[in-house]
């Protein structure tokens, strides 16, 4: 995937999905600023400049990732969650998207029903196949257990 396509897909995905799946975190207002074409164009230029510098992670000019403990349902049970800055998320995601098709090609085919993790299939700003996720795995296991009885 070309760098501009990767950056734009990363921005589209961040707009649709946000930065995290952790409900405890509210959506940063900066994300909605990406809907403004002029602001988005500036971000694309900034991210492209950062990615083209090359020579390692230091050149990406990202903020160190911070972590927060988020309570789970049980008392004294916590989940360690990373907080990534919006611009950094776009940079990281843009890097990954440039190789995502190659990675996906090397994975076990989903038709074998062995691996049920997210599968790269970009569509309308979303990155993953809507039919391959944890719920698919649970349904498969449930069906397998019922067939054994």
Cα–chain center distance at 75: 29
Q: What is the CA radius of gyration of the chain?
A: 18
Whole-number Å distance between alpha carbons of 34 and 100: 23
Per-residue pLDDT of the chain (149 residues; tens, 9 = 90+): 899 999 999 999 999 988 887 777 888 888 999 999 999 999 999 999 998 886 666 778 888 888 989 888 888 899 899 888 999 999 999 999 999 999 999 988 888 888 878 889 888 878 988 888 788 888 888 887 777 76
Strands (E), the chain: 66-71, 78-83, 120-123, 126-128
Identify the pLDDT of residue 56. 66
- The pTM assigned to this predicted structure is 0.81
Identify the pLDDT of residue 118. 85
φ, ψ (nearest 5 deg) of residue 147 = -70, -25
Identify the pLDDT of residue 63. 87
Identify the pLDDT of residue 100. 93
Q: Residue 83's closest CA among 14, 20, 11, 1?
A: 20
């Amino acid at each position: 995937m070309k760098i501009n396509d990767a950056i734009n897909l990363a921005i589209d995905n961040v707009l649709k999905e946000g930065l995290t799946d952790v409900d405890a975190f509210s959506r940063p207002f900066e994300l909605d600023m990406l809907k403004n074409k002029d602001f988005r164009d500036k971000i694309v230029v900034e991210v492209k400049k950062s990615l083209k510098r090359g020579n390692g992670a230091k050149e990406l000019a990202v903020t160190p990732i911070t972590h927060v403990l988020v309570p789970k349902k049980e008392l004294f049970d916590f989940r360690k969650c990373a907080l990534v800055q919006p611009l950094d998320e776009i940079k990281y995601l843009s890097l990954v998207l440039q190789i995502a098709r190659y990675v996906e090609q090397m994975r076990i085919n989903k038709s074998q029903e062995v691996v049920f993790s997210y599968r790269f299939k970009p569509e309308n700003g979303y990155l993953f196949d809507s039919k391959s996720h944890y719920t698919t795995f649970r349904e498969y296991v449930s069906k397998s257990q019922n067939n054994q009885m």
